[in-house]
Amino acid sequence: MSSIRELHVITSGRHSLNEVLRMAEAAYAGGMNFLHIREKQRTAKECMDWVKALANVIPLSSLIVNDRVDVAAAAGCSGAHLAYHSLSPAEARMVLKTGQKIGRSVHSVEEAQQAIAAKVDYLLYGHIFASGSKPGLAPRGTIELAQMTAKWHVPIIGLGGITPDRTVQVLEAGCAGIAVLSGITDAIDAKSAASAYREALDRWEGK
């Protein structure tokens, strides 16, 4: 993770490859750093096909594959992002190549502590604000998030209901960046949407 505040975009599983290709190219032009291929319903072959196709429109080093450690390793992309049902970080490390990153989704200090002990490269924490992708679940806010960023130096990316206007609250809590789903993947103009987040990230004058 760099000193640049990062903009991660996560696919929804609701769009076709062609739609995601158009969105990814536009979002990258607008300032996206990483695209997470989060397609739970797709096979390993389909996920690999997505990586190969997407690598034609954005750098392979900007692609992260969710859950499918085998695909991430075979593709040689940026790395793999793990959920609670994925391989453990230690198991994933045995499969991935040297230099590939491992991320982990966490929802509490306890989960973060376990992931950090397992030597992940970054954490994804959420959902911070009310989110359409998590209906009925209370948002976690930024208090626990700030406690985590003060305690550990592992980069933490904030997720959930983040708008360009809310970006500053997430950065003030110590996040190394933000992750966005529908705010960019469902946008009519993905480049403009990504640019709005990019500007909010770059404008922040925090420590």
Question: CB–CB of 156/148 below 8 Å?
Answer: yes
Strand partners, 137: none
Of the candidates 62, 50, 59, the residue with the CA atom closest to the CA atom of residue 21: 50
**Catalytic (active site) residue 153:** no
Residue 63 makes CB contacts below 8 A (sequence gap 6+) with: 34, 35, 37, 51, 54, 55, 75, 77, 78
Of the candidates 170, 141, 168, the residue with the CA atom closest to the CA atom of residue 156: 170
- Write down the catalytic residue from 15, 85, 127, 153: 127
Report the alpha-carbon distance of residue 24 to residue 105 in Å, rounded: 22
The two counts, helices (H) then strands (E), for the chain are 9, 8
The residues annotated as belonging to the active site are: 127
